[in-house]
Amino acid sequence: MKYAKDTRPEGASTEAAKILVEALPWIKNITGKTVVIKYGGSAMVDEKLRADVMSDIVLLKIVGVNPVIVHGGGKAITRAMDLMEIPVEFKDGQRVTTPEAMNLVRTVLMGEVNQELVEALNHHGNFAVGVSGADGGVIVAEQASPDLGRVGRITRINRPLLDDLVASDYIPVIASVAIGEDGGFYNVNADMVAGHIAAAIGAHKAVFLTDVDGLYENFEDKSSLISNLTVFEARYMVENNVVSTGMIPKLKSCIHALENGVQRAHIINGTTPHSLLLEMLTSTGVGTTMHSTEEAYRFDSHPLGKFASKLLENREEVEAAQKASIQSSSVH
Protein backbone atom coordinates (compact mmCIF):
# COMPACT_ATOMS: atom_id res chain seq x y z
CA MET A 1 0.00 0.00 0.00
CA LYS A 2 1.17 3.54 -0.77
CA TYR A 3 -0.35 5.90 1.78
CA ALA A 4 -0.23 9.71 1.33
CA LYS A 5 2.54 11.08 3.57
CA ASP A 6 1.93 14.25 5.62
CA THR A 7 3.82 17.09 3.90
CA ARG A 8 1.91 19.93 5.56
CA PRO A 9 4.17 22.61 7.12
CA GLU A 10 4.44 22.34 10.91
CA GLY A 11 2.32 24.86 12.83
CA ALA A 12 0.47 26.14 9.74
CA SER A 13 -2.91 24.79 10.84
CA THR A 14 -2.50 26.32 14.34
CA GLU A 15 -1.88 29.72 12.74
CA ALA A 16 -4.99 29.36 10.59
CA ALA A 17 -7.05 28.37 13.64
CA LYS A 18 -5.74 31.38 15.62
CA ILE A 19 -6.85 33.71 12.82
CA LEU A 20 -10.32 32.17 12.80
CA VAL A 21 -10.59 32.44 16.60
CA GLU A 22 -9.48 36.07 16.52
CA ALA A 23 -12.23 36.82 13.99
CA LEU A 24 -14.97 35.31 16.20
CA PRO A 25 -15.88 38.42 18.30
CA TRP A 26 -15.88 40.55 15.17
CA ILE A 27 -18.11 38.13 13.34
CA LYS A 28 -20.48 38.09 16.34
CA ASN A 29 -20.51 41.89 16.41
CA ILE A 30 -21.19 42.41 12.73
CA THR A 31 -23.48 39.51 11.91
CA GLY A 32 -26.99 40.59 10.88
CA LYS A 33 -25.83 44.15 10.20
CA THR A 34 -25.92 45.98 6.90
CA VAL A 35 -22.66 47.37 5.57
CA VAL A 36 -22.43 49.59 2.50
CA ILE A 37 -19.20 48.92 0.60
CA LYS A 38 -18.17 51.54 -1.94
CA TYR A 39 -15.78 50.10 -4.50
CA GLY A 40 -13.95 52.91 -6.28
CA GLY A 41 -12.77 52.68 -9.87
CA SER A 42 -9.25 53.52 -8.73
CA ALA A 43 -9.14 50.32 -6.65
CA MET A 44 -10.24 48.10 -9.56
CA VAL A 45 -6.64 47.56 -10.60
CA ASP A 46 -6.96 44.18 -12.30
CA GLU A 47 -9.31 41.25 -12.67
CA LYS A 48 -7.57 39.10 -10.02
CA LEU A 49 -7.74 41.82 -7.36
CA ARG A 50 -11.37 42.55 -8.23
CA ALA A 51 -12.21 38.85 -7.95
CA ASP A 52 -10.46 38.68 -4.55
CA VAL A 53 -12.40 41.69 -3.24
CA MET A 54 -15.65 40.08 -4.42
CA SER A 55 -14.81 36.77 -2.74
CA ASP A 56 -14.06 38.65 0.52
CA ILE A 57 -17.52 40.21 0.23
CA VAL A 58 -19.07 36.76 -0.30
CA LEU A 59 -17.22 35.56 2.82
CA LEU A 60 -18.74 38.45 4.80
CA LYS A 61 -22.18 37.52 3.42
CA ILE A 62 -21.72 33.90 4.44
CA VAL A 63 -20.83 34.88 8.03
CA GLY A 64 -24.07 36.87 8.27
CA VAL A 65 -23.21 40.41 7.16
CA ASN A 66 -25.60 42.09 4.69
CA PRO A 67 -23.30 43.79 2.18
CA VAL A 68 -24.66 46.43 -0.19
CA ILE A 69 -22.17 47.37 -2.90
CA VAL A 70 -22.02 50.76 -4.57
CA HIS A 71 -19.45 51.06 -7.32
CA GLY A 72 -17.80 53.78 -9.32
CA GLY A 73 -15.68 53.42 -12.40
CA GLY A 74 -14.34 56.92 -13.00
CA LYS A 75 -11.12 55.67 -14.60
CA ALA A 76 -12.97 53.37 -17.01
CA ILE A 77 -15.31 56.25 -17.99
CA THR A 78 -12.32 58.50 -18.70
CA ARG A 79 -10.69 55.76 -20.80
CA ALA A 80 -13.90 55.34 -22.84
CA MET A 81 -14.28 59.10 -23.31
CA ASP A 82 -10.67 59.37 -24.51
CA LEU A 83 -11.32 56.57 -26.97
CA MET A 84 -14.44 58.31 -28.31
CA GLU A 85 -12.56 61.63 -28.32
CA ILE A 86 -15.06 63.23 -25.94
CA PRO A 87 -13.33 65.98 -23.91
CA VAL A 88 -12.83 65.12 -20.22
CA GLU A 89 -13.33 67.93 -17.72
CA PHE A 90 -13.81 67.94 -13.95
CA LYS A 91 -15.10 70.80 -11.80
CA ASP A 92 -14.70 70.37 -8.02
CA GLY A 93 -14.15 66.64 -8.50
CA GLN A 94 -17.34 66.19 -10.60
CA ARG A 95 -17.22 65.18 -14.25
CA VAL A 96 -18.80 67.72 -16.59
CA THR A 97 -21.35 65.43 -18.27
CA THR A 98 -22.84 66.31 -21.66
CA PRO A 99 -25.81 64.20 -22.89
CA GLU A 100 -23.31 62.32 -25.14
CA ALA A 101 -21.01 61.65 -22.15
CA MET A 102 -24.04 60.57 -20.09
CA ASN A 103 -24.77 57.80 -22.60
CA LEU A 104 -21.18 56.61 -22.29
CA VAL A 105 -21.29 56.76 -18.46
CA ARG A 106 -24.35 54.45 -18.56
CA THR A 107 -22.68 52.08 -21.01
CA VAL A 108 -19.47 51.83 -18.97
CA LEU A 109 -20.98 51.65 -15.48
CA MET A 110 -23.92 49.38 -16.29
CA GLY A 111 -22.69 47.53 -19.36
CA GLU A 112 -19.18 46.82 -18.09
CA VAL A 113 -18.28 47.52 -14.46
CA ASN A 114 -21.57 46.44 -12.87
CA GLN A 115 -21.73 43.21 -14.87
CA GLU A 116 -18.11 42.33 -14.12
CA LEU A 117 -18.69 42.72 -10.36
CA VAL A 118 -21.95 40.75 -10.44
CA GLU A 119 -20.25 37.99 -12.43
CA ALA A 120 -17.33 37.81 -9.96
CA LEU A 121 -19.73 37.60 -6.98
CA ASN A 122 -21.99 35.05 -8.64
CA HIS A 123 -19.03 32.85 -9.40
CA HIS A 124 -19.56 31.74 -5.77
CA GLY A 125 -23.35 31.24 -6.07
CA ASN A 126 -26.34 33.40 -6.94
CA PHE A 127 -25.58 36.15 -4.46
CA ALA A 128 -25.63 39.38 -6.44
CA VAL A 129 -28.26 41.43 -8.22
CA GLY A 130 -26.91 44.27 -10.36
CA VAL A 131 -28.97 47.45 -10.51
CA SER A 132 -28.47 50.87 -11.99
CA GLY A 133 -29.53 53.59 -9.57
CA ALA A 134 -32.08 54.49 -12.24
CA ASP A 135 -33.82 51.06 -11.97
CA GLY A 136 -36.99 51.33 -9.93
CA GLY A 137 -35.94 54.80 -8.82
CA VAL A 138 -33.25 53.43 -6.50
CA ILE A 139 -31.54 56.84 -6.82
CA VAL A 140 -33.57 59.89 -7.79
CA ALA A 141 -31.66 63.09 -8.53
CA GLU A 142 -32.01 66.62 -9.81
CA GLN A 143 -29.50 68.67 -11.77
CA ALA A 144 -26.62 69.68 -9.48
CA SER A 145 -25.64 72.78 -11.46
CA PRO A 146 -26.17 73.88 -15.08
CA ASP A 147 -22.35 74.14 -15.43
CA LEU A 148 -22.02 70.38 -14.91
CA GLY A 149 -24.64 69.23 -17.42
CA ARG A 150 -26.18 65.84 -16.51
CA VAL A 151 -24.54 65.62 -13.06
CA GLY A 152 -27.10 64.84 -10.40
CA ARG A 153 -27.66 65.78 -6.78
CA ILE A 154 -29.50 63.02 -4.92
CA THR A 155 -33.02 63.86 -3.77
CA ARG A 156 -34.38 60.42 -2.88
CA ILE A 157 -33.36 56.78 -2.36
CA ASN A 158 -35.88 53.93 -2.85
CA ARG A 159 -35.25 52.26 0.49
CA PRO A 160 -38.05 49.62 0.28
CA LEU A 161 -36.56 48.19 -2.92
CA LEU A 162 -33.10 47.87 -1.36
CA ASP A 163 -34.58 46.49 1.89
CA ASP A 164 -36.42 43.83 -0.14
CA LEU A 165 -33.22 42.74 -1.91
CA VAL A 166 -31.33 42.56 1.40
CA ALA A 167 -34.21 40.74 3.13
CA SER A 168 -34.21 38.20 0.27
CA ASP A 169 -30.52 37.60 0.99
CA TYR A 170 -29.18 39.18 -2.20
CA ILE A 171 -26.18 41.48 -2.43
CA PRO A 172 -27.34 44.57 -4.35
CA VAL A 173 -24.61 45.91 -6.65
CA ILE A 174 -25.51 49.49 -7.47
CA ALA A 175 -24.10 51.63 -10.31
CA SER A 176 -23.99 55.36 -9.61
CA VAL A 177 -26.49 56.41 -12.29
CA ALA A 178 -29.67 58.18 -11.15
CA ILE A 179 -33.05 58.90 -12.67
CA GLY A 180 -34.37 62.48 -12.69
CA GLU A 181 -37.90 63.53 -11.83
CA ASP A 182 -37.96 64.50 -15.56
CA GLY A 183 -37.26 60.87 -16.57
CA GLY A 184 -33.71 61.63 -17.81
CA PHE A 185 -30.51 60.02 -16.51
CA TYR A 186 -28.00 61.70 -14.19
CA ASN A 187 -24.36 60.93 -13.45
CA VAL A 188 -23.79 60.95 -9.67
CA ASN A 189 -20.46 60.67 -7.87
CA ALA A 190 -20.32 57.12 -6.49
CA ASP A 191 -19.01 58.25 -3.08
CA MET A 192 -22.07 60.46 -2.63
CA VAL A 193 -24.31 57.55 -3.65
CA ALA A 194 -22.70 55.30 -1.01
CA GLY A 195 -23.19 57.87 1.78
CA HIS A 196 -26.82 58.54 0.85
CA ILE A 197 -27.67 54.87 0.52
CA ALA A 198 -25.95 54.02 3.84
CA ALA A 199 -27.98 56.74 5.58
CA ALA A 200 -31.26 55.86 3.83
CA ILE A 201 -31.16 52.13 4.59
CA GLY A 202 -29.86 52.60 8.15
CA ALA A 203 -26.55 50.82 7.50
CA HIS A 204 -24.32 50.02 10.45
CA LYS A 205 -21.20 51.17 8.64
CA ALA A 206 -19.93 52.38 5.28
CA VAL A 207 -16.56 51.24 3.92
CA PHE A 208 -14.83 53.04 1.06
CA LEU A 209 -12.32 50.96 -0.91
CA THR A 210 -9.93 53.24 -2.76
CA ASP A 211 -6.30 53.32 -3.96
CA VAL A 212 -4.62 54.91 -0.91
CA ASP A 213 -4.18 53.56 2.63
CA GLY A 214 -6.66 56.07 4.05
CA LEU A 215 -6.87 59.75 4.78
CA TYR A 216 -3.57 61.65 5.11
CA GLU A 217 -3.27 64.88 7.04
CA ASN A 218 -0.77 65.91 4.38
CA PHE A 219 -1.01 63.79 1.24
CA GLU A 220 2.68 64.44 0.43
CA ASP A 221 3.77 63.01 3.80
CA LYS A 222 3.12 59.26 3.91
CA SER A 223 3.73 59.18 7.68
CA SER A 224 0.66 61.39 8.26
CA LEU A 225 -2.03 58.70 7.84
CA ILE A 226 -4.94 59.42 10.21
CA SER A 227 -6.26 56.33 12.01
CA ASN A 228 -9.30 57.88 13.71
CA LEU A 229 -11.24 61.10 13.34
CA THR A 230 -14.57 62.59 14.30
CA VAL A 231 -17.19 64.13 12.03
CA PHE A 232 -16.16 67.52 13.42
CA GLU A 233 -12.55 66.96 12.34
CA ALA A 234 -13.64 65.66 8.92
CA ARG A 235 -15.77 68.76 8.37
CA TYR A 236 -12.80 70.95 9.35
CA MET A 237 -10.62 69.16 6.76
CA VAL A 238 -13.15 69.72 3.96
CA GLU A 239 -13.82 73.36 4.88
CA ASN A 240 -10.11 74.21 5.18
CA ASN A 241 -9.02 72.45 1.96
CA VAL A 242 -6.86 69.90 3.79
CA VAL A 243 -8.18 67.33 1.31
CA SER A 244 -8.43 67.62 -2.44
CA THR A 245 -9.72 65.81 -5.55
CA GLY A 246 -11.31 62.41 -4.91
CA MET A 247 -11.07 62.72 -1.11
CA ILE A 248 -13.55 65.62 -1.02
CA PRO A 249 -16.68 63.65 -2.05
CA LYS A 250 -15.53 60.74 0.15
CA LEU A 251 -15.34 62.90 3.27
CA LYS A 252 -18.60 64.71 2.43
CA SER A 253 -20.27 61.36 1.95
CA CYS A 254 -18.91 60.00 5.26
CA ILE A 255 -20.12 63.15 7.05
CA HIS A 256 -23.60 62.75 5.54
CA ALA A 257 -23.75 59.08 6.55
CA LEU A 258 -22.48 59.64 10.10
CA GLU A 259 -24.83 62.56 10.69
CA ASN A 260 -27.73 60.37 9.60
CA GLY A 261 -27.44 57.33 11.82
CA VAL A 262 -24.48 55.36 10.41
CA GLN A 263 -22.06 54.55 13.24
CA ARG A 264 -18.72 54.23 11.46
CA ALA A 265 -17.20 55.06 8.10
CA HIS A 266 -13.90 53.59 6.94
CA ILE A 267 -11.58 54.62 4.13
CA ILE A 268 -9.28 51.73 3.28
CA ASN A 269 -6.96 50.60 0.51
CA GLY A 270 -8.85 48.32 -1.86
CA THR A 271 -5.62 47.50 -3.70
CA THR A 272 -4.19 45.82 -0.57
CA PRO A 273 -5.23 42.15 -0.62
CA HIS A 274 -8.03 41.37 1.90
CA SER A 275 -8.06 44.88 3.43
CA LEU A 276 -11.84 44.58 3.82
CA LEU A 277 -11.50 41.44 5.96
CA LEU A 278 -8.67 43.02 7.96
CA GLU A 279 -10.87 46.02 8.73
CA MET A 280 -14.04 44.08 9.51
CA LEU A 281 -12.75 40.96 11.23
CA THR A 282 -9.51 41.77 13.07
CA SER A 283 -8.66 43.78 16.17
CA THR A 284 -6.04 45.97 14.50
CA GLY A 285 -8.15 47.18 11.58
CA VAL A 286 -6.70 49.20 8.71
CA GLY A 287 -7.05 52.64 7.15
CA THR A 288 -8.97 55.60 8.53
CA THR A 289 -12.06 55.26 10.72
CA MET A 290 -14.54 58.10 11.11
CA HIS A 291 -16.82 58.14 14.13
CA SER A 292 -20.31 59.54 14.53
CA THR A 293 -19.70 60.83 18.07
CA GLU A 294 -16.87 61.90 20.34
CA GLU A 295 -17.88 59.06 22.64
CA ALA A 296 -17.46 56.43 19.94
CA TYR A 297 -14.12 57.99 19.02
CA ARG A 298 -12.82 57.83 22.59
CA PHE A 299 -13.76 54.20 22.87
CA ASP A 300 -12.17 53.24 19.55
CA SER A 301 -8.99 55.08 20.56
CA HIS A 302 -9.01 53.50 24.02
CA PRO A 303 -6.12 51.12 24.83
CA LEU A 304 -8.68 48.32 24.92
CA GLY A 305 -9.24 49.23 21.29
CA LYS A 306 -12.25 48.11 19.38
CA PHE A 307 -13.39 45.69 22.07
CA ALA A 308 -14.38 48.72 24.17
CA SER A 309 -16.29 50.22 21.28
CA LYS A 310 -18.00 46.89 20.72
CA LEU A 311 -19.20 47.10 24.31
CA LEU A 312 -20.41 50.63 23.65
CA GLU A 313 -22.29 49.62 20.52
CA ASN A 314 -23.89 46.74 22.39
CA ARG A 315 -24.33 48.75 25.57
CA GLU A 316 -28.08 48.09 25.88
CA GLU A 317 -27.52 44.38 25.44
CA VAL A 318 -24.61 44.38 27.94
CA GLU A 319 -26.58 46.39 30.53
CA ALA A 320 -29.61 44.09 30.16
CA ALA A 321 -27.36 41.05 30.61
CA GLN A 322 -25.75 42.63 33.70
CA LYS A 323 -29.19 43.42 35.21
CA ALA A 324 -30.38 39.88 34.51
CA SER A 325 -27.28 38.42 36.15
CA ILE A 326 -27.69 40.67 39.25
CA GLN A 327 -31.34 39.64 39.53
CA SER A 328 -30.59 35.95 39.18
CA SER A 329 -27.73 36.14 41.75
CA SER A 330 -30.04 37.91 44.26
CA VAL A 331 -32.63 35.13 43.85
CA HIS A 332 -30.15 32.39 44.83
Dmax over CA atoms of the chain, in Å, equals 81
Residue 43: how many CB atoms within 10 A of its CB?
24
Question: Nearest-CB residue to ligand X2W?
Answer: 72
Q: Does 72 bind ligand ADP (CB under 6 A)?
A: yes
Are 271 and 211 contacting, i.e. CB atoms less than 8 angstroms apart? Answer: yes
Residue 163 touches ligand ADP, criterion: CB under 6 A = no
Among 55, 211, 228, 233, binds ligand ADP (CB under 6 A): 211
- Is-contact 35 198, C-beta < 8 A? no
DSSP structural state of residue 216:
B
Residue ranges in 95-124 that form contacts with ligand X2W under rule CB under 6 A: 95, 105
CB-nearer residue toward ligand ADP: 99 or 232: 232
| Among the listed residues 117, 190, 199, 247, the single contact to ligand X2W using CB under 6 A | 190
Alpha carbon 320 to its chain's center: 32
Enumerate residues 223-252 that contact ligand X2W by CB under 6 A: 246
| Of 169, 163, 195, 312, residue with least CA distance to 262 | 195
Rounded Cα distance between 153 and 188, Å, is: 7
Q: b/e for 174-195, b at 16 or more Cβ within 10 A?
A: bbbbbbbeeeebbbbbbbbbbb
Question: Nearer Cβ to ligand ADP, position 226 or 308?
Answer: 226
Give the total of residues touching ligand X2W (CB under 6 A). 17
Q: Which amino acid is at 10?
A: E
Residue 213 CB, nearest distance to ligand ADP (Å)?
8
Of 30, 34, 36, 41, the residue at the interface with ligand X2W (CB under 6 A) is: 41
187 is in an annotated binding site: yes
Q: Which of 58, 77, 110, 243 binds ligand X2W (CB under 6 A)?
A: 77
Q: What is the C-alpha radius of gyration for the chain, rounded to an integer number of angstroms?
A: 21
Q: In one letter, which amino acid is 117?
A: L
Considering the complex, state which of residue 113 and residue 296 has its C-beta at the smaller distance from ligand X2W. Answer: 113
Q: Which amino acid is at 134?
A: A
Report the interface residues with ligand ADP, using CB under 6 A.
40-43, 72, 74, 191, 210-212, 215-216, 219, 243-247
Known binding residues for substrate: 73-74, 95, 187
Report the interface residues with ligand X2W, using CB under 6 A.
40-42, 72-74, 77, 94-95, 105, 151, 176, 187-190, 246
